[in-house]
Homo-oligomer: A and B are copies of this chain.
Amino acid sequence: MLSKNQIKRIQSLARKKGRRDEGCFIAEGNKLVEDTRAAFECDTLLATHAWIAAHPHFLSEQLVQEVTELEMAKVSQLTTPTEVLAVYRIPRYRLDIEMLKRELVLALDTVQDPGNLGTIVRLADWFGIRHIVCSPETADLYNPKVVQATMGALARVKVYYTSLAEFLATMNRSAVYGTFLDGNDIYRTPLSGTGVIVMGNEGNGISLELEPYIGNRLYIPNYPVGQPTSESLNVAVAAAITCAEFRRRQTE
């Protein structure tokens, strides 16, 4: 049985202010909870009777609280509420610049759509990119829409929010890449196995203040070259093609 206060508290986690006040976020669904429970500190796990019966190994955990389907519907952010909802503590990762210099890192300059951010975290995971540094204006990783769209990848990819200008200033300019509509053909540009790939905002691309830090301007060629076409690619699509190409080069 959930108290009114509990319901109110969990509902508040759908909003950024609620998450900041509580220091928690939610993840819903059997698959997502299974994929993420080892990665985050669990505050509460709400589950229906049927789910608990099917997952006896959870019984020993003190944090499991049985709820009715009606109660679950009240706190769920999904159109079709699932049988299990985890409330996790938001982790605090420290930006370790020296470590990041030895990795391939994504930097997101105000990617605003939650679906795009979730998709980017998921593809970063696919391509073994373990760190994403975001401008403070980028969508919040712990927004329930983003959490769901990552399909569990947020358990393996660390996402940081910080000033990108300050972050990029610590990097060697030659190790920073960005995609631009007037950049150089990515297929004809040397790509390194380490460095930072900057992806820009959905409407405005990479902000002017970051350009001085970017030593390599990349462009994903359209086909056939010169043909009238869409003016740009979706940011998650551009990130996907760029990350795939970096990794292809490394295994060539």
List chain A positions with a Cβ less than 8 A from chain B. Answer: 115, 119, 122-123, 125-128, 151-153, 156, 187, 220-225, 227-234, 236-237, 240-241, 244-245, 247-248, 250-251
Q: Is A247 a contact of B234 with CB atoms below 8 Å? A: no
Q: Is B251 a contact of A125 with CB atoms below 8 Å? A: no
Minimum distance in angstroms from A39 CB to a CB of chain B: 12
How far does the alpha carbon of A244 sit from the alpha carbon of B179 in the complex, in Å? 15
Using Cβ atoms and an 8 Å threshold, which residues of chain B touch A125?
229-230
Q: Is B227 a contact of A128 with CB atoms below 8 Å? A: yes
Q: Is A221 a contact of B122 with CB atoms below 8 Å? A: no
Q: Is A122 a contact of B240 with CB atoms below 8 Å? A: no
Q: A223-B251, A240-B241, A244-B244 are in contact. Are A230 and B153 (CB under 8 A)?
A: yes
Q: A187-B248, A230-B122 are in contact. Are A128 and B224 (CB under 8 A)?
A: yes
Q: List 19 A-B contacts (CB under 8 A).
A: A115-B115, A119-B236, A122-B230, A122-B234, A123-B233, A123-B234, A127-B223, A128-B224, A151-B230, A152-B230, A156-B230, A187-B251, A221-B251, A236-B237, A237-B240, A240-B240, A241-B241, A241-B244, A244-B245
Q: Is A250 a contact of B223 with CB atoms below 8 Å? A: yes
How far does the alpha carbon of A230 sit from the alpha carbon of B227 in the complex, in Å? 35
Q: Is B233 a contact of A220 with CB atoms below 8 Å? A: no
How far does the alpha carbon of A247 sit from the alpha carbon of B128 in the complex, in Å? 25
How far does the alpha carbon of A248 sit from the alpha carbon of B185 in the complex, in Å? 11
Q: Report which of B222, B248, B251 forms a contact with A127, defined as CB distance below 8 A.
A: B222
Using Cβ atoms and an 8 Å threshold, which residues of chain B touch A220?
126, 244
Q: A152-B230, A229-B125 are in contact. Are A223 and B236 (CB under 8 A)?
A: no
